[in-house]
Structure 1
Amino acid sequence: MNTTDVTIDGTDIQLMLIFCELYNCTIQVDTSEPYDWGDIYLNASGYGLVGMILDRRNDYGVGGMYLWYEAYEYMDMTHFLGRSGVTCLVPAPNRLISWTLLLRPFQFVLWMCVMLCLLLESLALGITRRWEHSSVAAGNSWISSLRFGCISTLKLFVNQSTNYVTSSYALRTVLVASYMIDIILTTVYSGGLAAILTLPTLEEAADSRQRLFDHKLIWTGTSQAWITTIDERSADPVLLGLMEHYRVYDANLISAFSHTEQMGFVVERLQFGHLGNTELIENDALKRLKLMVDDIYFAFTVAFVPRLWPHLNAYNDFILAWHSSGFDKFWEWKIAAEYMNAHCQNRIVASEKTNLDIGPVKLGIDNFIGLILLWCFGMICSLLTFLGELCRGQG
């Protein structure tokens, strides 16, 4: 037994302290075990906090202990002390900047409809010009008429006029109808593009249970106990898939990863909204992380005691009275105010909702890559057309 003076406090600890005051018992803290929760071996021995209860070196073990069936086979548990949700801090979404921004105002099906509309305009203009009854159009061929239809359609689509003089009311009517359709399409497209460029478009974040599974994001904690509670026989496929992506690292490595790596970091969502296990994440790393909107899973916390612990019934009655009086909420807020970083807690909770007010952003090449690619495509097409005309002229 380590006789060094230690200070213990916390919501679950306060419960035990008040119980000992009522029943005149003394608390001795054992700090000899280097591991946290520990685990149970097949020979009914163990290590960590669980092992100390099994070996009866301690009469009471508490601190994020869930309803573990494997532990219940060898020791007793108290009534539930609180609800504990296991969630993650995941990488915050970045602003989506891509050349595809020029295509985002219209969906794929709508773009297909626009292409079909332009094709029909070209055919209508070409056919009408071919059969217009005028002396000017007497020598019109199908090739020149279709060329006129395609060029006029593209000009009208970008709000440019055509230099062709027509005397046919049929062709004038088709031109007016085409211009009205094109001006509506370009107006709608311009409004959609302005909205996309004005409001930031963010990539999808793995900030929910389902999205964490879809993104196949690695999430990490300091112990295998974070997933021990999950029953593989009854868990759904999403939860089983998340278990495959869980990794165990030491505290120093997790703290370093929080600044650079694209991965999730386990935190505990307490019963009344506070967050535990956040001390591994430094304050300057929170700007690149956000809290998930839901829990990966939740469980009820208990205290572990040896079999036939004589105070178990009295302690369970005391727990129920504690819950019914509302002291569980009061003590959580009190302990959080005394020991948790309020600024850090507020930042993490606020990160659950994405902040679109990102302020002025310095423009880079990514903001113009779409326009540059479109310009390069037009220049290449123009150059190829010019070379084709030269070759045709020489022939």
Structure 2
Amino acid sequence: MELDVSRASPYDSRLTIGIDLGCDSFIMDRETAVTFLDTFITSHDFARYKNPIKPIIILQDPSVTDARDNIDSIRKHSVLLFEIPRVLMLEFRSNQILLWTHRFVSFLEEAEELVLLDTYSLENGSFSSNADLFPDKSKNLNRKMYRLASFLLIPHFTFTPITGVPWMATYQNQTVKINGMGGLIMVEFCRKHNCTWDIQIDQIGQWGTLYENGTGDGIMGTVYERRADVGVGSLLLWENAYWHLGFTSPIRKVGISCIAPRPRMIPSWQTIGFVFDLEVWIAVLVCIVCCIATYAFISHANPICDARGVIWNAMNVWAIVLFQAANILHQSAAQGMLSIALVIFAINLGNIFAGKNASLRTFPLFEPPIDTLQELADRGITWVQTHEAWIHSLQTPYNVYLRKIRDNFEVHNFLEMKTLADEGRVAIGVSRLNYGHYLIGDFITEENIMLYRLMQGDLYHDYEVSMTTKTWPFREQLSDLILRIVESGIRSYQEPIVAQQTMNFRVQTKIYHSRDREQTPPTPMGCGDLLGAFMLLGGGIVCGMLAFLGEVLGKYWRQRKINGYVKGFIW
């Protein structure tokens, strides 16, 4: 594709279109090289096609004899110093062509020096040394410094100040030692390629957010605004970041789960209601009401039977059902048959109830646990974390339960998270590491972790990556290193060491064993076990006193009304 880049405009959308069509190599003359380099970053930021390997060839116009100023501008350009290691400059001299490249190092004085790669003879049509015209400059970057965006995230990224020892990173002009599962990958990259990192921390922004006006915060925003070249720290394959940043190879598979409120023990007095289903209780109540109505009808319809009111019959039927002293009515055949059926029904019902209630009281009962995403969605329970990045992967869920879980997510700051964690009424998002550990916040302590239980399943899965700018030239080298580290299995050895150094071992252990069944040996019955009986007795006493008070007041008002009539008659 051939483009005529105008000096009048620093950006030409046609260049972005060419990049999206797959153009990853550029040939230009020295007159337009500076203009091309000026628009290089902007054109690639607008492009969707992301290939960090961009060789460029800069030609010399044979008719131009003195272009020293132009060459100096090209060599000192920041894009050439940090974004494009594969540069080939052609210089024509009589019957030969000199092939130059630049030094891809941090020091400006050395970077301005050109290196002669080879010479091409126009007479012989051959190269003098057959050298590689695009050598791999990543093998030794001579401690070239790149910017690394992250935040303090245990166990993925931490750092501590150091002095007097070989260093690979700085933070605010202070030499530091990087640690953490993701940080150690960056250390190994610099150890392999002889480079250094300048750490950029945005603790408030955390993983970050990208905005439509081209700004952002956190890791993603820092890389997007090119305040950093690489971002690391449990970054996942988020769709909202894919169009703006470059992704490396996956570092690990991530499972996002929750620690849900631990099922609470059900008071023993409430177990009475669990003996039968609601349908059974309704059926028993209907049978009792039918018996009361039948007794009342027979006593009024049959002249040989003593007339009894509904209240008396109700008390008598309830006495039979509850195995209390009662009158077994048999003045007529109808009463006798009904009484026999009622007694048999009461004996069977009472024995079944007593046996089931005894089995329920043998061991404590607990509320149903929250183990799956369906149960978390059906309960409508809120789950919380410190950043909305926990639901970036749920922006377009295909599962109706995931949509509901996404809507139930809330973001809170650290102090609010600590308060909610101590209350134990909400679920808290956790990230499963690959070898038995969990990414949680410092708001989870040895005390409040006892209020939670790890879900059996995960809400969703994703893959952790490192994010770079679209033009960072060593994304493939970093991806290759990541794949080699994952393939070696060294992370199974590395994770326990990092966890022991940076995480609370007791909290991790309690999370891991939170699903274990608790030992609940039989215990003597206490007042709590008889609370139901006490509540019934108390309710009966209160109702009786209220009924007695109503009777007294009713009698008083009736007597007063009668006295008023008498006085009026005498008058």
Class of the TM-score when normalised by the shorter of the 2 chains: 0.7 to 0.9
* Partner residue in 1 for 2:501: 338
How far is 1:350 from its partner?
A: 1.9
Q: Is 1:87 aligned to 2:257, yes or no?
A: yes
Moved more, 199-208 or 120-129: 120-129
Return the alpha-carbon distance in structure 2 between the equivalents of residues 62 and 267 of structure 1: 18
Q: Percent identity?
A: 23
Give the TM-score of the pair, scaled to structure 1: 0.79
* Partner residue in 1 for 2:347: 183
1:44–1:74 CA contact under 8 A, matched in 2: no
Q: Structure 1's 51 and 357: CA in aligned 2 closer, same or farther, altered over 3 A?
A: same
Return the alpha-carbon distance in structure 2 between the equivalents of residues 285 and 271 of structure 1: 24
Return the alpha-carbon distance in structure 1 between the equivalents of residues 460 and 212 of structure 2: 27
1:6–1:29 CA contact under 8 A, matched in 2: no
Letter in 1 for 2:240: E
Q: Structure 1's 55 and 198: CA in aligned 2 closer, same or farther, altered over 3 A?
A: same
* Partner residue in 2 for 1:249: 412
Q: Structure 1's 382 and 167: CA in aligned 2 closer, same or farther, altered over 3 A?
A: farther
Return the alpha-carbon distance in structure 2 between the equivalents of residues 348 and 289 of structure 1: 8
Return the alpha-carbon distance in structure 2 between the equivalents of residues 361 and 80 of structure 1: 56
CA distances 1:330-365 after superposition (whole Å, capped 9, x unpaired): 32233223332222111112223563638869956x
Return the alpha-carbon distance in structure 1 between the equivalents of residues 307 and 393 of structure 2: 74
3-state SS in 1 of match to 2:430: strand
Q: Structure 1's 251 and 165: CA in aligned 2 closer, same or farther, altered over 3 A?
A: closer
Structural mapping, 1:346-365, within 5 Å = 346-353=509-516, 355=518, 357=520, 363=526
CA distances 1:101-149 after superposition (whole Å, capped 9, x unpaired): 4332111211233234445666787899999xxxxxx962373499997
CA distances 1:171-229 after superposition (whole Å, capped 9, x unpaired): 77765554333222111111222233333232345554333333433332222222223
2:446–2:506 CA contact under 8 A, matched in 1: no
Q: Structure 1's 292 and 129: CA in aligned 2 closer, same or farther, altered over 3 A?
A: same
Q: Is 1:326 aligned to 2:489, yes or no?
A: yes
Higher helix share: 1
Match of 1:278 among 434, 441, 444: 441
Letter in 1 for 2:514: S
Q: Structure 1's 383 and 140: CA in aligned 2 closer, same or farther, altered over 3 A?
A: farther
Return the alpha-carbon distance in structure 2 between the equivalents of residues 173 and 127 of structure 1: 15
Return the alpha-carbon distance in structure 2 between the equivalents of residues 303 and 206 of structure 1: 33
How far is 1:76 from its partner?
A: 1.0
Moved more, 202-211 or 169-178: 169-178
* Partner residue in 2 for 1:24: 193
Match of 1:374 among 531, 536, 561: 536
Q: Structure 1's 216 and 174: CA in aligned 2 closer, same or farther, altered over 3 A?
A: closer
Moved more, 177-186 or 114-123: 114-123
Moved more, 153-162 or 276-285: 153-162
* Partner residue in 1 for 2:361: 197
Give the TM-score of the pair, scaled to structure 2: 0.57
Specify every segment of 5 or more residues in structure 1 that has no aligned partner in the other structure, as ranges. Answer: 132-137
Q: Is 1:217 aligned to 2:387, yes or no?
A: no
How far is 1:92 from its partner?
A: 2.2
* Partner residue in 1 for 2:285: 115
How far is 1:57 from its partner?
A: 4.0
1:78–1:304 CA contact under 8 A, matched in 2: yes
2:299–2:307 CA contact under 8 A, matched in 1: no
Return the alpha-carbon distance in structure 2 between the equivalents of residues 307 and 172 of structure 1: 93
Q: Structure 1's 160 and 13: CA in aligned 2 closer, same or farther, altered over 3 A?
A: same
Q: Is 1:236 aligned to 2:399, yes or no?
A: yes
Q: Is 1:2 aligned to 2:172, yes or no?
A: yes
Return the alpha-carbon distance in structure 1 between the equivalents of residues 485 and 297 of structure 2: 87
Q: Structure 1's 361 and 205: CA in aligned 2 closer, same or farther, altered over 3 A?
A: farther
Q: Structure 1's 186 and 271: CA in aligned 2 closer, same or farther, altered over 3 A?
A: same
Q: Structure 1's 358 and 289: CA in aligned 2 closer, same or farther, altered over 3 A?
A: farther
* Partner residue in 2 for 1:227: 391
3-state SS in 2 of match to 1:283: coil
How far is 1:236 from its partner?
A: 3.4
Structure whose CA Rg is larger: 2
* Partner residue in 1 for 2:184: 14
3-state SS in 2 of match to 1:268: strand
Return the alpha-carbon distance in structure 1 between the equivalents of residues 176 and 459 of structure 2: 34
3-state SS in 2 of match to 1:202: coil
* Partner residue in 2 for 1:135: none
Q: Structure 1's 384 and 33: CA in aligned 2 closer, same or farther, altered over 3 A?
A: closer
* Partner residue in 1 for 2:239: 69
CA distances 1:232-264 after superposition (whole Å, capped 9, x unpaired): 3x4434333333333322223322332236323
Return the alpha-carbon distance in structure 2 between the equivalents of residues 200 and 312 of structure 1: 57
1:127–1:146 CA contact under 8 A, matched in 2: no
Q: Structure 1's 65 and 372: CA in aligned 2 closer, same or farther, altered over 3 A?
A: same
Specify every segment of 5 or more residues in structure 2 that has no aligned partner in the other structure, as ranges. Answer: 1-170, 556-571
1:59–1:306 CA contact under 8 A, matched in 2: yes
* Partner residue in 1 for 2:450: 287
1:53–1:59 CA contact under 8 A, matched in 2: yes
Q: Structure 1's 369 and 63: CA in aligned 2 closer, same or farther, altered over 3 A?
A: same
Moved more, 158-167 or 60-69: 158-167
Q: Is 1:262 aligned to 2:425, yes or no?
A: yes
Letter in 2 for 1:38: G
Letter in 2 for 1:373: M
Letter in 1 for 2:367: E
2:316–2:327 CA contact under 8 A, matched in 1: no
3-state SS in 1 of match to 2:425: coil
Q: Which has the higher contact order (CA 8 A, sep 6+)?
A: 1
RMSD over equivalenced CA pairs, Å:
3.9
3-state SS in 1 of match to 2:447: helix
Structural mapping, 1:32-181, within 5 Å = 32-34=201-203, 35-97=205-267, 100-118=270-288, 140-141=304-305, 143-144=307-308, 153-162=317-326, 175=339, 177-181=341-345
2:330–2:336 CA contact under 8 A, matched in 1: yes
Letter in 2 for 1:94: R
Match of 2:470 among 303, 307, 313: 307
